[in-house]
Amino acid sequence: MNGCVIRGTAWHAPETSISNAELVASYNAYVARWNAINADRIAAGELQALLPSSEDFIKSASGIEHRRVLDKAGVLDPDRLRPHFPRRPKEQASVQAEFGLKAVEKLLDKTGYDPKDIDGLIFACSAPQRYFPAVGIEIQAAIGMGGWAYDMQMACASALFALQQAKGMIDSGAADAILIVDPEIMTGINDHRKRDVHFIFGDCASAMLVERADRGPGGWRVIGTRNETRFSNALRSDFGFLNPAERAGGEPYEPGLEQDGHRVFKDVIPFAAGVSRALIDTHGVTPAQVRRMWLHQANIRIIEMVAKRVLERERTEDNAPAILKTYGNTSSSSVVMTFDLNSADMAAGEKGVMCAFGAGYGCGAALVEKRA
Ligand code: COA
């Protein structure tokens, strides 16, 4: 086995931020208009009035205070509540490839890597902008890489499912260096008309470069990975190419994101903690030997409870840092961002666990050790 090392990570979040106050004001304006338009049917008992959202609820239930977004005006427009990305001609970079490239360029800059020395690119995120050609191939072409690229999806666990694939290829000798890119435009997937989900997500792109351990010192040795899936409808998006075929007439159909937040909350805590514990047990590592967990930034209470179960001690900003207050849940990119922002202080030989979980359900975990 060649051994696999994380050479570097990088991320790019849009400059523009939306506060809870701004988000709630636009949501409540939408609710007031909807209730006014439907007043007669609500009075007749045919429809239920929509309830307003609240800043206090969002902060206490999720820990999120701001989220970075690519198009603030569209998301906050009560008549729209979604970003606006005007359709681009084929000759122009697609929105998601362009977004991913910003993280990739930072990573190439940081690591000094020549794209020609990278064998493959895995574009791993909750949803690609189109089915084909793969968005990853567009990024591959833009940076002048040879080799191959493909797109894969495993919702918020995508980056760590991709890491397991990359590690397998590197260990077996099928590739020497692989780039993983996770451009998450979650404001495009989320349904901002739903009170219980409108505040959760933000946009961010992350990138991670993994390579053979013998290419040089430094970086993070990937000791092991563990991926598990369990089917659940508690977090679901039915958006897809069969949507038009599902309708007899020409009526529009726009399936949004659906979530039973309470169910997700209850299910993912034991799932993520169990996968992480099984991973460290397999490699003979005790909770006390894990200096830090970099967790998917879904919800502050989930972070606290998963960290406590795995580490067998109270969560602190040192042993399981949280960045969701500022960025929201940025799906698969969040675990890479959390790692990137909170790993430079660790000493050679110290170990940590990355763990990401989400729709599917899918959970991916990686046990890593800082190298000298
Ligand atoms: N503003 C004000 N009140 C709201 C609200 C909002 N935006 N959304 C829901 N509420 C209300 C509910 O109607 C409910 O009222 P009731 O008690 O009168 O029925 C109350 O708040 C509690 O709702 P509940 O859904 O039980 O809240 P919760 O404590 O479970 O928190 C989530 C909701 C979504 C924050 C939480 O369940 C969660 O984070 N789940 C995991 C979601 C997640 O991480 N998804 C991504 C995984 S990758």
Give the distance (Å) from ligand 1 centre to CA of residue 76.
21
Contact by Cβ (8 Å): 23, 198: yes
The response to whether residue 59 sits with its C-beta less than 6 Å from ligand 1 reads no
The response to whether residue 55 sits with its C-beta less than 6 Å from ligand 1 reads no
Is 363 annotated as catalytic? Answer: no
Contact by Cβ (8 Å): 54, 105: no
Query: Token pair for residue 82?
Result: 């979604």
Cα–Cα distance measured from residue 110 to residue 43, given in angstroms and rounded to the nearest whole number: 60
For residues 268, 269, 274 and 277, what is the CA-based torsion angle, rounded to 10 degrees? 130
Query: Could you tell me which residues are beta bridge partners of residue 38?
Result: none
User: What's the first-to-final CA gap in the chain, in angstroms?
Assistant: 20
Contact by Cβ (8 Å): 99, 123: no
Query: Could you tell me which residues are beta bridge partners of residue 17?
Result: 68
- Going by the DSSP 8-state scheme, the letter that residue 242 receives in this structure is T
pLDDT for the residue numbered 345: 97
CA distances from 192 to 83, 198, 254, 283, 319 (A): 10, 4, 13, 42, 33
Contact by Cβ (8 Å): 367, 217: no
Give the distance (Å) from ligand 1 centre to CA of residue 64.
13
Contact by Cβ (8 Å): 190, 198: yes
Report the run of H or E that residue 4 belongs to, with start and end: strand 4-12
Residue nearest to atom 7 of ligand 1 (CA): 53
| Residue of 156, 204, 355, 363 marked catalytic | 156
pLDDT for the residue numbered 79: 95
The residue among 103, 69, 150, 162 whose CA lies nearest residue 337 is 103
Out of 198, 262, 335, mutate this one to test ligand 1's pocket (max ligand atoms within 8 Å of CB): namely: 262
Q: Which amino acid is at 245?
A: A
Map out the domains of the chain as residue ranges. 221-370
Cα–Cα distance measured from residue 164 to residue 240, given in angstroms and rounded to the nearest whole number: 27
pLDDT for the residue numbered 253: 75
The response to whether residue 10 sits with its C-beta less than 6 Å from ligand 1 reads no
Map 146-160 to HEC letters.
Answer: CCEEEEECCHHHHHH
CATH number of 221-370: 3.40.47.10
Give the global pTM: 0.96
The response to whether residue 52 sits with its C-beta less than 6 Å from ligand 1 reads no
The response to whether residue 57 sits with its C-beta less than 6 Å from ligand 1 reads yes
Per-residue pLDDT of the chain in tens (372 residues, 90 and over written 9): 879 999 999 999 999 999 999 999 999 999 999 999 999 999 999 999 999 999 999 999 999 999 999 999 999 999 999 999 999 999 999 999 999 999 999 999 999 999 999 999 999 999 999 999 999 999 999 999 999 999 999 999 999 999 999 999 999 999 999 999 999 999 999 999 999 999 999 999 999 999 999 999 999 999 999 999 999 999 999 999 888 888 888 777 777 899 999 999 999 999 999 999 999 999 999 999 999 999 999 999 999 999 999 999 999 999 999 999 999 999 999 999 999 999 999 999 999 999 999 999 999 999 999 999
